[in-house]
Amino acid sequence: MLVKQFTIRAFEINIESQEEFLDFFTKNREIIQKYFLIINGKVTENIKKILKEEKILFTVGTLKNNSFVKNCHIQEIKAVEEKESKIFNFPIRSGMEIKSNSDIILLKRANSASSIQTDGNFIALDTVEGKVECNGEFMFLKASPKALILFNGKDISSYLQKNSFFSITFEEGNIEIKEFKRGNK
């Protein structure tokens, strides 16, 4: 017998109107294509048809009563609307979610299935394996191949595959990614 354990990336979406869902789907297509969708609510045949045409993996139902979710520990960390940098000197565990409008500095690793969102800048001094959404002017991090890195709405994960630190900047609508090596200025 062969047993494998997987960490999956999934969105659970409660659909209240088809138009709202289709608008969300259109704006986030690039991200959604990398996730498994658990959809519930007003799931129309048109929504199912579109998801099948786009080759999106999905199921209709909810995870709330599913046995593998009952034992999960999900912790959400919400920062208040302060502009001071937030420093996290502990590992960001799987299932933890951090949301902030200010800059975020991680001194320890961010495990897979963790989620970090900031409208400020992002700096990680250890490996990032989870999801990071940064809408600031710059990022500095070392991402593992497991990571999903979104910078100002664009998925840049595939550009960060080397085992090194990268500086990512956003100027005049352009994203610039530089591999950081010892001695770089």
pLDDT tens digit sequence for 128-157: 999 999 999 999 998 888 889 999 989 998
pLDDT tens digit sequence for 27-64: 888 888 878 888 888 889 999 999 989 888 888 876 65
pLDDT at 118: 93
pLDDT at 68: 45
pLDDT at 173: 78
pLDDT at 126: 92
User: Which three-class secondary structure string do you get for the chain?
Assistant: CCCCCCCCCEEEEEECCHHHHHHHHHHHHHHHCCCEEEEEECCCHHHHHHHHHCCCCEEECCCCCCHHHHCCCCEEEECCCCCCCEEECCCECCCEEEEECCCEEECCCECCCCEEEECCCEEEEEEECCEEEECCCEEEEEECCCCEEEECCEECHHHHCCCCEEEEEEECCEEEEEEECCCCC
For the cut 60, the answer to whether the pLDDT of residue 67 exceeds it is no
Summary mean pLDDT of the chain: 82
Mean pLDDT of 11-40: 85
For the cut 90, the answer to whether the pLDDT of residue 180 exceeds it is no
pLDDT at 70: 45
The pTM assigned to this predicted structure is 0.58
Mean pLDDT of 99-119: 92
pLDDT at 162: 81
For the cut 60, the answer to whether the pLDDT of residue 182 exceeds it is yes
pLDDT at 35: 80
